[in-house]
Each structure stands twice: as structure tokens, then as C-alpha cells.
A = this chain, B = another copy of it.
Amino acid sequence: MSRAGRSAGRSASGSGQDAATVDLSAVIVAASPDGPLVLLRQIGGDLLPSLPSGPLEPRHRTIEAGLRSWVEELTGHSLGYVEQLYTFGDANRHASARGQTSRSLSIGYLALVRETRARQGDDIAWQSWYRFFPWEDMRAGAPQVMTRIREGIAGWIAEAPRDEREDRESRARAAFGAAGDRWNEELVLERYELLYEIGLVPEAHRDGAACWAPREAALTEAESLYSDHRRILATGISRLRGKIKYRPVVFELMQPRFTFLQLQRTVEALAGVELHKPNFRRLVEHQGLVEETGAVTSNTGGRPARLLRFRRDILREHPGTGVGLPPGRPRKT
């Protein structure tokens, strides 16, 4: 093989590229006193709720610009932080898509917004994401649904063929944690995929996947979403939960001025775990992420609290400690 097949493009087989249908899906997140919110369309009615989706129009210079454009039109206010999540394109994304020659792709984005007021109604509303992932909210300890999940998992392990048993055990332990383990709030996608595989989630049956649990065993405590949107949402939550640990993205969800406890409650809502107040305070102080405004607020229910603001000038770096690489070799100069 010489240079043939290169001129037309960069395709390995020389067979050219395929046309595909592409849209954008957005996990748009806001924080409220009550919990983490995500924007969904078509609440109520006989169809399942779906993430806002829009077309990928060639007139925008970047994909992200296209996303911002239609989301801002849809919600009526501008997006803050935006990041690409993942491109979803399994052939069974859409039950109806099988047999098509052209694949249907969806580029998922995560967006954080401060406002939650605009454009309610219009077929669109904010929902707590824990409606769709009740097992991800461990703030008040393990929720009800967890016992049903653990039962399901136990059955799936018990009825495993001999040689798959250990594998299933360790996968379950990795995702949901064993007795003494600390809950790892980042593994949202892993947990969802395990439940999907076991068949505890209705999408698995909808997609016609072969799974252990019968359709009736699917968890009723959790609501489903259109197509693979629950998977996309899980990806978004995972990414956000990971990111708040090493980048100051929470502040994209906060009002301009806030108290330590408000900040803590927001982080807790996103992470789905409760935190230790004094240590949270010191961690944030220590990182130099906030500064005092001088003002205080008495809407606290207790002693008045100082109002803080995010130090925007910190965005320069904050490398995030990133475990794993030991110190560099000291270089004699």
C-alpha cells in the first residue's frame, strides 16, 4: 500500500466516510437549596422526560458555540461553564434506529447555570436529579431503594455460573462498595451500567438487552428517561462529582455572595454525601478559593454568617494535587 486512498480523506480502508445523524444533548445543571437540579423536557404526558437536545448546525464555528446558541434560546439565559462529556452512538441507542444504515450520534455536554427561574413551563422544567438516581443520594444515609438494589445484586451474584461468580462479586463491590468501604460518589455511571446489565432498570428491557432480572424486577423507586438519556445524565453527574474535587466549578452554581454553609450544602447536594463542617471550612479557606465581602447575613437560623465571594483571579491554576506521581528527582543546578 502506498499513498493511495489518502487523497480523498484520511480513512484507513479507503472506503470513505459515512454520513451520520448528529445532535447535541445537554445536561444542564443548577443548584437550589433543595438539591441539584437538571433541566428536562416533556415532563408529564405519556412520553418519558428527555434531556434538551438540539441540532448541530454548520453555521457555528465550534460545536460548543452551537450548543450555547440553542440552549440559550431555549432557556432564555446564558450558560456559564460548558464542557463536552462524551459522544454516544451505540447502535441500540434508539430502539427504532436498528436496521438503519446511518447511525445516530449524540454529543453530550455538561453545562452549569446559576439561574433557575427562567422559562419554566413551555414543556421544560427543573427536576432534582435524584428522581432518576435515588440511590445516589446518600446525604441522609443509605436510602430505601438501596436495600432493593442490594437484594437484586445478591441474587445476580448467587445465580452466577461458577466461573463468573467472583467477577460479579468484585464488580458489585467496586461500584457499590463493601461493608466497611467508604462510598465512592464518583461511580455514578458504573453503578448505572451495573444496574442496566443486571436488568434492574427498565431501559435494559426496552433496549432488548439480555439480562438476569425480569422486566418486573426493575426498580420502581427511580424514574426512567427517554432513550439513553439516563446514561447521559449519569455521565454528567459522574463528571461533575469528579470535577468539583480538583477544579473550582461549584462556584459556577453559586450566587455571587454566599456563606460557607450554603457552599457546603451545594457541594453536598452534588456529591450526594454529607460533609464535616469545620473541616470543609478549613479546606476551602486553605485553598484560597474565597474571600470575605465584609458583609454578613442573618438569614441563617442561628448566628449571622459572613458572606463570601469567589476569588475569580484564582482560576489561573490550582493544579489539584493529583495523586500518584512521586516528587521529581531533585535536579542539581
Minimum-distance CB pairs A-B, first 6: A245-B324, A10-B53, A12-B54, A279-B326, A274-B329, A321-B323
On whether the beta carbons of B9 and A271 are closer than 8 Å, the reply is no
A122 to chain B, nearest CB (A): 5
Give residues in A with beta carbon < 8 Å to B.
1-3, 6, 9-13, 15-23, 25, 41-42, 45, 47, 50-58, 60-63, 70-71, 73-74, 84, 86-87, 89-92, 100-103, 105, 107, 122-123, 141, 170-171, 173-174, 182-186, 226-227, 242, 244-246, 267, 271, 273-277, 279-280, 282-283, 313, 316-317, 319-331
In whole angstroms, what is the CA distance A11 to B53 when docked? Answer: 5
> Given A56-B20, A328-B273, do A184 and B317 touch, yes or no (CB 8 Å)?
yes
Q: For A18, what are the chain B residues with a Cβ–Cβ distance below 8 Å?
A: 21-22, 55-58
On whether the beta carbons of B91 and A58 are closer than 8 Å, the reply is yes
Q: For A171, what are the chain B residues with a Cβ–Cβ distance below 8 Å?
A: 316
Most buried by B among A10, A107, A171, A183: A10
How many of these chains are in the complex? 2
> Given A2-B123, A55-B15, A277-B329, do A244 and B47 touch, yes or no (CB 8 Å)?
no
Q: For A183, what are the chain B residues with a Cβ–Cβ distance below 8 Å?
A: 328
On whether the beta carbons of A186 and B322 are closer than 8 Å, the reply is yes
Q: For A6, what are the chain B residues with a Cβ–Cβ distance below 8 Å?
A: 41-42, 47
Q: For A54, what are the chain B residues with a Cβ–Cβ distance below 8 Å?
A: 11-13
| New contact pairs (10) apart from A18-B21, A61-B92, CB-CB < 8 Å | A6-B42, A12-B74, A56-B103, A60-B91, A84-B87, A184-B319, A185-B325, A246-B322, A276-B327, A283-B324
On whether the beta carbons of A245 and B325 are closer than 8 Å, the reply is yes
Closest-by-CB residue of B relative to A54 is B12
Complex partner residue of A10 from B17, B50, B74, B276, CB under 8 angstroms: B50
Q: For A107, what are the chain B residues with a Cβ–Cβ distance below 8 Å?
A: 87, 89
